[in-house]
Amino acid sequence: MFKDKKSAYAAVAFVNTLGWGVYYSFTRRYLVDELSAGRVVMLLAGLEWGMSMASLFAALLEQRLGRKSILIGGLSSLPIVASSFIKEPYAFSAVISLSSLLWALSWPSVISSVFQEVTGEYGKAYSSFTIATGLGFGVGALLSGLVYKLGGAFLVFLLIALLFATTFVAGWALSPTGKSTSYSKIEWGLRDRGLTAFLTSLTLIVFAREMFFAVGAVKLSRSIDELFSQVDEGTRYVLYGLFYGFIGSLISPFARLVSGRVVDKYGPLNVYIASSASYLVTYWLFALTSGIVPALLWLVPLYPFLDTSVYSYVAERSRENNRTHGFGQVIFFTSLGGILLLPAQPLVGSNTLRAGCFITAAALSSIVIAYSKSRSNGDRPR
């Protein structure tokens, strides 16, 4: 079916983000409309990232179980189905967020398999793996509305569960046999001060980005309702999915290709700093505009550049037999940034201006740390 393993891994990444595209697009609007709990959207985002902190144990599971640990991620379909029967918004959020925990225990091993035997051009390797992820997310966002219109909420939950299970079964089938991670060689500490500073910076920019996404998703939903108030609710679900992810995904493959080349040419750290600054500028433009403008700003493809720069930077500084743990640390510190939404949620709610104060402080701090600390320690592999 696939000419080479690289294409097969790209297909796995596509299915993974296809599932998350359906998940994110649907659950946010489901909370706002069907459960009348727009205030809980940020709480759900925080819970999802909090559960993802389990990624720190991905390398340990891989050492114990070998690549079979990837199959644990397939169990993420269970809380998805269970949550479909829950109508209380806080309980719904708690149950469905368990899928993020199971995903985080397995996904670092999938990424580690992609980088096996790669010794240079990490940006190109990662961008090839993620070439269709934006498209997958966009198609998923659109598909959520179409499936909802066809069969209601339960059918959407079943689709998400099927996609998650498929992702990890396919990832396991492609992965090398054996245990690529040696427990004795797992570097649990953060001895590389440059990497420590980078991961700290990552936590802050993720907090800023996720607050942007959480607050922005509510504003986007309301903007769609205002712009298309004359159409029925099911059609507005489809339109929301179009703007939430599908339209932007059409340029995502191009953005992924460019991001890989830019990272390899200018260095992952420089691209990371530029991407962080771009998130800050885009947020304020989004917050201070109305009508169709916020919906258009939502489509700007910043994520491919940030994502590629992060994983390329860690791949460069990690030995092959320690990459699963390195990528687990990326997800852990990313999750730490996401979970900071929990204490911030009561203070911010869905207010775009209050959110902007937090986003500005976090983004500027992230840029300063990344530039002054990581830069001063050099980019040598550990």
Question: So where are the chain's domains?
Answer: 5-179+190-376
List C-alpha distances in Å: 120 to 110, 123, 312. 19, 8, 10
Dist CA 324 CA 181 (whole Å): 7
Dist CA 174 CA 12 (whole Å): 9
Find the Cα–Cα–Cα–Cα dihedral 276, 300, 138, 345, rounded to 10°: 50
Other C-beta atoms lying within 10 Å of the C-beta of residue 24: 23
Other C-beta atoms lying within 10 Å of the C-beta of residue 260: 26
The model carries a pTM of 0.82
What is the average pLDDT score of the chain?
A: 86
List C-alpha distances in Å: 276 to 165, 204, 215, 273. 33, 10, 18, 5
Confidence check: pLDDT of 182 > 60: no
Q: Output the pLDDT for position 77.
A: 95
5-179+190-376 topology per CATH: Growth Hormone; Chain: A; (1.20.1250)
Q: Output the pLDDT for position 2.
A: 52
Dist CA 46 CA 211 (whole Å): 9
Give the H/E segment covering residue 113. Answer: helix 107-114
Confidence check: pLDDT of 249 > 90: no
Confidence of residue 380 (pLDDT cuts 50, 70, 90): very low
Confidence check: pLDDT of 373 > 70: no
